[in-house]
Amino acid sequence: MFRYQIVIILFFSVSLLNAQDSRKQNDFLVPDSILDLPLTDKKLVIAHYMTNIVPAKIDDKISSSYDLTWFDPNGASKTLGGVSQTAPYTSLLKQDLSLEQAAEFEMQTALKLGVDGFHFFYPGFKNDAAMKKYNAIIKAFFKVAEQKSIDFKMTLCLCNPKHGVEKEKISRWARGVKDLMKSYGQSDNWLKTPDGRYVFYTWVADGIIDDLKGKHWEVHLQPEYIKNVAIAYNKLAAEADIEIAYNYHLRWPEKKEFVDNVLQYFPAVCGWTSVLEKEAEWKAVATKCHLENRDYTQTVYPDFYTSKVYRKTNKQLILNNAEIVKLGADKVCKHVHKMGLSEVFRGLNQWAIDTDASLINFTTWNDFPEGQHLAPEFTHNFGFSVLLHYYKQIWQCGDKPFDLEESATVFYKKYPESTEPKYNIECKVTRGDSKLNEDYIEVVTILDRPAQLIVGGNHLGIIQKGLQVTKLPMFFEAIHVKLIRDGKAFINFTSPVNITKTPHRTDRLTYSYSSEYNAYFKSIFGVDSY
């Protein structure tokens, strides 16, 4: 009998402890009265910023994205035709910027190209040393924004925590956040909710909890774990001694139970790189957000073709360029999305309008290695910025009169897909229809009144008011664009890069050039063109 009494006492003691633990955990859940509050009172475009890809030397080293040695077709990686596919204009112009000068350049340029703020890549670091390095860069942005009175919003994107157990991940991140808050917590440049909470983004966030044992991609199979994910991030906020409204990176929009759990515990959701095939699912998420007082934020991206290189055998990403050169073109591959030139970008921006999204999340400002960049670079130039300004004005202002310059922008690939470059690296299509034909030239016009369009000597008829897309087959002569109204050419330019039959190396980035090129370039760099 005595033994049974001990067992009963132990049973109830354990049950009581579990109940207490449960109550302690639930104390970290944000009540609906707070989750229901709006994320923002102003529609802004917030771009993801790769913190370690800043155009300045850090620890006396420049990011490889700004090192033209690896871009040069006859340089260090000439046996592959050049590993890096992008050349930022700051590098081409040989600008030597200090960290603070780089921070000012990035913010001022972003504002000119339609971006209102950055969410800084802030990964689940393995140690505090890496976090201190990132914090030094982020602090430079806040310092310059305050000193120069730059109206620019900034925050963090907590990314893919995978080192240590849950408690360690929370504490490590909290230390970094507290360090930033100690220096600039009161800055008006933080992205905040109207009631004063800090808005933080997440990306592949679910690995913070121990329950998933490192397999963050399985969270949609056990959506009940989302509650624990929310608790973990709210513990982080408590340990950092601030209130945070998380813009949760939502994957699998088609999984209804999963989406329901996310919206039960997080105030806002965002996506990442996604082509247009899940339009119905994402718009259903947006509708549900509006019904449940949650914020739907729309992610847009302009392009995706990687300078990143992967082993063919095990899909492993290779970060060392010297190792890539040693392996050779036959043993590596790159990733690409089929985006119909500007079609996906235009479609995603239209979704922001259709869903009345709270924010536009631009993926990304400066991830040159993934080809998603908006920052000034010789392939994308400013074509995607022209489109962003157009959609942003409709999204923010509705039917109010436009104040944009009339423009024409061309988008195209540098060579037909069936053409094999001299230095050929296999490309794997990881998003979009692999059979999608992108072998055409796209002319996107934004006009106040109708006008006649001529491209490469081809009379393409009358183009109507507003945004219109005109497609024509690839050709290999100069791409000359002219718009005529009342007998006079008011837009007249030639794209500096022709489509070629004999490409030197694999390069599936979408090239763009616009009638607005010189105006953008001069406003940023002080000269008409490169």
Instruction: Return the structure tokens found at 89.
Output: 């204009």
What does R_g of the chain's alpha carbons equal in angstroms?
25
Task: Tell me the pLDDT tens digit for each residue of 268-305.
Answer: 999 999 889 899 999 999 999 999 999 999 999 999 99
- The residue among 358, 373, 388 that closes a domain is 373
* Residue 440 · residue 471 · CB < 8 Å: yes
CA distance 56 to 95: 9
CA distance 92 to 55: 12
Structural domain contains residue 6: no
Q: Are residues 349 and 472 in the same domain?
A: no
Q: Are residues 142 and 227 in the same domain?
A: yes
Structural domain contains residue 310: no
Structural domain contains residue 135: yes
Q: Are residues 275 and 137 in the same domain?
A: yes
What is the 3 state secondary structure string of 98-156? CHHHHHHHHHHHHHHCCCCEEEEEEECCCCHHHHHHHHHHHHHHHHHHHHCCCCCEEEE
Q: Are residues 286 and 433 in the same domain?
A: no
The predicted structure's pLDDT at residue 322: 87
Task: Tell me the pLDDT tens digit for each residue of 178-205.
Answer: 999 999 999 999 999 999 999 999 999 9
The predicted structure's pLDDT at residue 321: 86
Q: How far is CA 187 from CA 98, 194, 419, 459, in A?
A: 22, 15, 53, 55
Q: Domain count of the chain?
A: 2
Q: Are residues 117 and 258 in the same domain?
A: yes
Q: Are residues 163 and 224 in the same domain?
A: yes
Residues in the chain: 530
Query: CB 225: neighbour CB atoms within 10 A?
Result: 18
Residue 244: φ, ψ to 5°: -125, 135
Q: Are residues 495 and 429 in the same domain?
A: yes
Q: Are residues 46 and 114 in the same domain?
A: yes
**Helices (DSSP H) in 199-331: which residue ranges?**
226-240, 256-265, 279-291, 321-327
The predicted structure's pLDDT at residue 425: 94
* Domain around 107: 39-56+97-304+339-373
Q: Are residues 118 and 190 in the same domain?
A: yes
């009169």: which residue's tokens? 401
CA distance 83 to 70: 6
Nearest to residue 201, comparing CAs of 132, 169, 153? 153
Q: Are residues 291 and 439 in the same domain?
A: no
The predicted structure's pLDDT at residue 20: 39
Structural domain contains residue 386: no
The predicted structure's pLDDT at residue 319: 85
Q: Are residues 189 and 52 in the same domain?
A: yes
CA distance 110 to 70: 26
Q: How far is CA 322 from CA 84, 223, 316, 504, in A?
A: 12, 42, 15, 20
- Positions of the chain with pLDDT under 70: 1-23, 400-401
* Residue 39 · residue 358 · CB < 8 Å: yes
Q: Are residues 367 and 420 in the same domain?
A: no
Task: Tell me the pLDDT tens digit for each residue of 307-316.
Answer: 999 999 888 9
The predicted structure's pLDDT at residue 22: 54
User: In CATH, what number is assigned to the domain containing residue 278?
Assistant: 3.20.20.80
The predicted structure's pLDDT at residue 3: 41
- DSSP string over 355-420: TT-SEEEES-SS-GGGT---SSBTTTTTHHHHHHHHHHHHHHHTTSPP-PPPEEEEEE-SS-TTPP
pTM value surpassing 0.85? yes
Structural domain contains residue 311: no
Structural domain contains residue 47: yes
Structural domain contains residue 362: yes
Structural domain contains residue 399: no
Instruction: Return the structure tokens found at 27.
Output: 């104390």
The predicted structure's pLDDT at residue 422: 95
